[in-house]
Structure 1
Amino acid sequence: MQSTKVDLLPARTTFQDRDEVLGQAIPFDRARWLPLLPGPDWWPAELDDCPAAAGRPRVDRRTVFSIARRSDTTEGRRHLLTAALVWGTGTQARSVARRARVFAENSAGDIDARLAAALGVLREEGAVAAYYAFNNDSRIKFLGPAFFTKVLYFAGHEQCVGAWRPLILDRYVALALRAADTGEKWRTGGWTTPRYGRYLSLVHDHARRVGVLPDQVEAALFAFGRRLV
């Protein structure tokens, strides 16, 4: 798939530097998560070392990346999934319960097998093939694209082949893409594999042209999309 020159963001967009992106921190409530996990061993110890702000611990991208380095083991993949869900959810009880349906509606063994298969595809075939795996043969019930692309993003920074590193695609990013002149209509969910490939192509091309890293563009799209709501 060839890159297309498309301006995804307003010309005067100021990009966060990479340290700011890696420092993007989300508050979480450990007490709400632990009873909903298959077992206490699914909780990564790094989350207990996160600094607190306004009375809540906060996990940042840098911490989830450190957890993802262990995703070549069953325990490491469990920890990565938990950390990606925690980072993407926040503290509201309803949101935590919704995300934790991943654990309520799938057996631990099934989650383990599907995570291993999809992340194996990521390492061997790349980001787009791994997206297809998570969306099809390795689909985990109640783990939709907005969250399995988080798993891919954190796992794929160091364990991925191909020219494109995986990036997060959620409704806010999609809203920003909808506002850009990409030539397509962007839904806010349920993206096909070709559409995810198109997204990676657009973002990587934009990043090269403006001289930043792809996840700096993703973070800017997310921020812009939130302002459109």
Structure 2
Amino acid sequence: MIDNEVLTDVRIAAELARTTVLAGGVLDGLAWTVDPSAGVELHPSWRAEPRLPGHVRTTLSISRSDLASVAADCRHSGAWIPLLVAVNAWSYGASGYGAWRTARTAALPDAEIRLSAAVATLDVHGPVEAYYQLNNEGHLHGWGPSYFTRFLHAADQREHGRAIAIDASLADAVNALVPGSDLGPADWGTAEYAFHLGLVHRIAGEAGVDAAVVEAVLGAKFSG
């Protein structure tokens, strides 16, 4: 459970996300559309990763639709390592060391236990509590928020308030949208994630689209 001091910060962050005035012009002209079948190109080393779907290893491409399919399979089996592998493949893409680092993380002796516990927390208490868990006592060495928030998003079944990924590009998006914001490129605290989550859901509500679409569009706009 989130400790009281952090919980207070989380509540303040959530309220700020709902009420803060956004910088003008940042969202102008954005098309709120995303192709869930569009793939991320993978390094050839991912061909040797048996926990990826066969067509992903063959084509060396993984899409948002693939992540959703792997998450559904993990729900059915109760084993979550394949989703860790899939979201890492998405996140590392063409990097030559991603498959090796992923294999090292997946081989940690308590990896499955911690992943299952995080999903249980996500289902009962929501994404902020699950973020706190994976960033603290449930943390897996070498697996930071830019990876595990995408895991949480894929695993989350809720229709409202669903987990949203955060990475360096999305942190840049928040900084551009919110005057005075200074999110760093990594290692975000729980309250920072709560602010990002609330802000993305707020923009989605105002635009009349799914929050995952906002995440994808902002991530593309501020990548590189």
Q: TM-score range by the shorter chain?
A: 0.7 to 0.9
Q: Is the 8 A contact 2:121 2:130 kept in 1?
A: yes
Does 2:41 correspond to 1:27?
yes
Cα distance, 1:32 vs. partner? 4.0
Does 2:19 correspond to 1:4?
yes
User: Alignment length, in residue pairs?
Assistant: 207
Cα distance, 1:86 vs. partner? 1.2
Q: 1:48-96 CA deviation, whole Å, 9 max, x = no partner?
A: 12496xxx43111111101101333666312111111112211332343
- CA distance in 2 between counterparts of 1:99 and 1:79 reads 11
Give the percent of matched residue pairs that are identical in Structure 1 and Structure 2: 27
After superposition, residues 186-205 of structure 1 pair within 5 angstroms as 186-205=183-202
2:162 is aligned to 165
- CA distance in 2 between counterparts of 1:33 and 1:79 reads 14
Cα distance, 1:179 vs. partner? 1.7
Q: 1:173-208 CA deviation, whole Å, 9 max, x = no partner?
A: 111211222542111111011111111111101111
2:9 is aligned to none
2:11 is aligned to none
Task: After superposing the two structures, state which structure 1 stretch, 128-137 or 65-74, moved more.
Answer: 65-74
Structure 2 stretches of 5 or more lacking a match? Answer: 1-13
After superposition, residues 41-56 of structure 1 pair within 5 angstroms as 43-44=51-52, 47-50=53-56, 56=59
- CA distance in 2 between counterparts of 1:31 and 1:196 reads 32
1:114 is aligned to 114
Q: CA RMSD in A?
A: 2.4
- CA distance in 2 between counterparts of 1:191 and 1:201 reads 15
Q: 1:140-186 CA deviation, whole Å, 9 max, x = no partner?
A: 11010000001001001x2x48x410011001111121122254211
1:85 is aligned to 88
- CA distance in 1 between counterparts of 2:19 and 2:217 reads 19
Q: Is the 8 A contact 2:105 2:141 kept in 1?
A: yes
**1:32–1:11 Cα change, 3 Å:** closer
- CA distance in 2 between counterparts of 1:200 and 1:118 reads 17
- One-letter code of the match for 2:177? A
- CA distance in 2 between counterparts of 1:165 and 1:177 reads 18
Give the TM-score of the pair, scaled to structure 2: 0.82
Structure 1 stretches of 5 or more lacking a match? Answer: none
Query: Matched residue of 1:59: which SS?
Result: strand
1:176 is aligned to 173
Query: Matched residue of 2:97: which SS?
Result: helix
Does 2:82 correspond to 1:76?
no
**1:33–1:97 Cα change, 3 Å:** farther
- CA distance in 1 between counterparts of 2:174 and 2:33 reads 18
- CA distance in 2 between counterparts of 1:170 and 1:88 reads 9
- CA distance in 2 between counterparts of 1:79 and 1:99 reads 11
Cα distance, 1:217 vs. partner? 0.8
- CA distance in 1 between counterparts of 2:222 and 2:106 reads 29
Q: Is the 8 A contact 1:128 1:193 kept in 2?
A: yes
Query: Matched residue of 2:146: which SS?
Result: helix
